Structure 1
Amino acid sequence: MRILIMGGTRFIGVSLTKILVAQGHEVVLFNRGNKSVPVDAVTQIHGDRKDIPQLQEKLKGQNFDAIFDNNGRELSDTQPLVELFKGKLSHFIYVSSAGVYLSSEQMPHLEDDPVDPQSRHKGKYETEQYLQNEGIPFTSIRPVYIYGSGNYNDLEAWFFDRLVRNLPILIPNSGLHFTQFGHVEDLAIAMSKVLGNSKAIGQIYNISGDRYVTFKGLALACASAIGKNPEEIEIKYYNPKKFNLGKRKAFPIRVQHFFADISKAKKDLDWQPKYDLISGLKESFENDYLPSGRDKIEIDFTLDREILSQL
């Protein structure tokens, strides 16, 4: 297949590009060109997708069998792309988010659960609805928390920063909220398995790891992954409501139960996560965190110290 990836030089796009090229697909990346391509055997088109005339000019005359839209956040990001290629594609794969779900007393989240109209990810749900209403042969992917090499969000690195410096891990409340991490390579493999799969047309899939973990369990897993004895790390618990945090983010994960059922993807896509949590965290630590030198740079722990001073 000839495949267009919107994005492709960061995180999800890097893993996906490598997998698709290895599978023999012809891959074209559309991005602003700030980073080099992850493998040599791809074509790169430089452009800003938010500049619609430029998008149209850059992609004029191009033909693709499938498009992966990895970085569309709002309907206004994706609609111009769809209009360019409507009726010309066999598949449009959209990266949405499990963040669209409305907080629920019954977990895990299923693909047909109600969505939160006030979610900061509501643009992604609006895009899913648009793709469905327009009759586009689409599949939407809803990851939970994504981790692994290349992660530009402070998730696992937040824990690593403190563990390598022997600092306390500050966890809100009792540390017993459950969350879910999925490795970026497992996500990319699942995305690749959507291609050519008739079962996936018109479907939404939750994609993440196959186990849920408490905040405390995540801290312990991070310790194990970097070679520390989990029993020897220091964990401090605090009540966020007792601190005037404002918009400052003292913890990298939403303080609620947040995890999703992935059985539909396993069944329809014949997919199974390769990484368990500790092996995935170890991959991120050894192949990304340490090589980046982040363990040696100065990190701002002002907020940690502020909370600790009041415990």
Structure 2
Amino acid sequence: MKILFIGGTGIISTAISERLLAQGHELWLLTRGTRKGLLPGVRELTCDIRDEAGAAKLLEGQTFDAVADFIAFRPEEAERDFRLFAGKTRQYIFISSASAYQKPSVLLPLTESTPLVNPYWDYSRQKAACEELLLRHFREDGFPVTIVRPSHTYCERKMPVALHGEKGSWQVLARMLAGKPVVIHGDGSSLWTLTHSRDFALGFCGLVGNAHALGQAVQITSDESLTWNQIYGVIADALGVPLRAVHAPSSLLASAGTAWGYDFEGGLLGDKAASVLFDNTKLKRLVPGFAARTRFDQGAREAAAYLLAHPELQQRDEKFDRFCDAVCAGLEAARRTIADAAGEGVS
């Protein structure tokens, strides 16, 4: 098949690209050209997709068996893709997000019919609006859309954590390695699902060119669920160090983070603070034999080894480090104040 990816160099898309190339497909990437030469065998188109006129000229005369956009986040961007690719592709795949599901959900496990209602995170609401627009074009114009909903997907280059600063997750690992306390939201008992990018690619590639997936929304996740305490414990084990966990209410982290310039409300209250379990029955019906093959302890060991061997990925984040120290100190001060107040109240 002749396949076009818009984007195609991120955590999710890179694993998919590698798998499609290995299967012998003709893969094209439309990117701004800032990360050239990452995948041998791929054909590159250099253009900023936001320049619709330029993209239309570049794509003139081209048709594809499938097009997937990994960097469309708002309805106007989805509408632009409809204008660009209507009549030019047999399948258009929109990468949405499982964070768009109702938060907190009133019914688990989550399925594709779970309402898309997230009052905490604009990112999630915009993804849901994109889905609504594209499905309307499917119904009214025959636009061959497939919607894919990933949850928390990771790879060897990025260890998954719940809370981090602008520079990614390394600072959390650095704190573990230094024997410093690590902040975990809530009491750490909420359930979460992590999916390795290789497993996501397995499900995604089974949907590419799949006529039964047209007009459908499909979530792709692992079936493994862990508490956040377990997740952080697995990461510490992979690094070979003990875990020193400090638990803080998610609402406190969200409000305190604002003063530091962080927007934690969406990522915590609108996503990771809520327990999630996924029912992948629909995916397994569309892609017979699909099964996530990488347990998180396996993936964490792989990521730890890779990150420790690549210093260029170890991005220090002093601001986030100070934030964590401030949270730990504040919680300890609050504990002491409450304990002192109890003593003062004894007559």
Secondary structure of 1:213's counterpart equals: strand
Structure 1 202/33 Cα, relative in aligned 2: closer, same or farther at 3 Å?
Answer: same
Partner of 2:324: 304
Does structure 1 retain, via aligned residues, the 8 Å contact 2:100–2:125?
Answer: yes
Q: 1:149 to 1:242 in 2, by over 3 A?
A: closer
CA distance in 1, matches of 2:75, 2:308: 34
Match of 2:12 in 1: 12
TM-score (norm 1): 0.90
Greater helix content = 2
Aligned length: 308
SS for the counterpart of 1:142 is strand
Task: Name the SS of the counterpart of 1:180 in structure 2.
Answer: strand
State whether residues 8 and 14 of structure 2, in contact with CA within 8 Å, keep that contact through their aligned partners in structure 1: yes
User: 182, 187, 190: which one pairs with 1:174?
Assistant: 187
CA RMSD of aligned residues (A): 2.4
Q: Provide the C-alpha distance between the structure 2 equivalents of 1:52 and 1:175, rounded to a whole number of angstroms.
A: 45
Provide the rounded CA distance (Å) in 1 between the counterparts of 2:308 and 2:133: 38
Aligned equivalents of 1:78 and 1:296: distance in 2?
33
Which of 239-248 and 43-52 deviates more? 239-248
Give 1:47 shift: 1.1
Which has the larger displacement, 187-196 or 116-125?
116-125
Looking at structure 2, the residues matched to 250 and 235 of structure 1 have their Cα atoms a distance apart, in angstroms, of 19
2:256 paired with 1:245:
yes
Seen in structure 2, the aligned counterparts of structure 1 residues 94 and 289 have a Cα distance that, compared at 3 Å, is farther
Post-superposition offset of 1:236: 1.5
Instruction: State the 1:277 CA deviation.
Output: 0.9
Q: What are the residue-to-residue correspondences of 1:126-141 with 2, within 5 Å? A: 126-135=129-138, 136-141=143-148
287-296 vs 70-79, which moves further: 287-296
Amino acid in structure 2 at the alignment position of 1:107: L
Preserved CA contact (<8 Å) 1:11 1:149: no
Whole-angstrom CA distance in 2 between matches of 1:222 and 1:153? 9
8 Å CA contact retained: 1:98, 1:260? no
Aligned to 2:256, the other structure's residue is in SS state coil
Shift of 1:260: 2.5
Residue number in structure 1 paired with 2:91 = 91
TM-score scaled to structure 2, two decimals?
0.81
Matches within 5 A, 1:104-115: 104-115=105-116
Does the 8 Å contact 2:307/2:313 carry over to 1? no
Query: Structure 1 pair 139/289, CA: closer, same or farther in 2 (3 Å)?
Result: farther
Q: Which runs of 5+ in 2 are unaligned?
A: 163-168, 333-347
Larger Rg: 2
Tell me which residue corresponds to 2:246.
236
Contact 1:168–1:235 (CA<8 Å) still a contact in 2?
yes
- Long gaps (5+) in structure 1: none
Between stretches 28-37 and 163-172, larger displacement belongs to 163-172
Q: For residues 237 and 314 of structure 2, what CA distance do their matches in structure 1 show?
A: 17
Q: Does 1:148 align with 2:155?
A: yes
Segment drifting more, 283-292 vs 162-171: 283-292
CA distance in 2 between counterparts of 1:46 and 1:154 reads 33
Amino acid at match of 1:238: A
The 1:292/1:109 distance shift into structure 2, 3 A limit, reads: farther
Q: Distance in 2 between matches of 1:241 and 1:17?
A: 38
Q: Tell me whether 194-203 or 215-224 shows the greater mean CA deviation.
A: 194-203
Given the alignment of the two structures, is residue 287 of structure 1 paired with residue 333 of structure 2, yes or no? no
Mean alpha-carbon deviation: is it higher for 130-139 or for 174-183? 130-139
Question: Structure 1 counterpart of 2:133, which letter?
Answer: Y
2: CA distance, partners of 1:23 / 1:12? 17
Share of identical aligned residues, percent?
23
Opposite residue 75 of structure 2, the aligned amino acid is L
- 1:30-74: CA deviation from partner (whole Å, max 9, x where unpaired): 011111233221111111111211221221221211101111111
Matches within 5 A, 1:1-311: 1-103=1-103, 104-116=105-117, 118=119, 119-120=121-122, 121-135=124-138, 136-151=143-158, 157=170, 159-228=172-241, 232-241=242-251, 245-247=256-258, 248=262, 253=268, 254-270=272-288, 271-288=290-307, 290-295=309-314, 297=316, 299-300=318-319, 301-310=321-330, 311=332
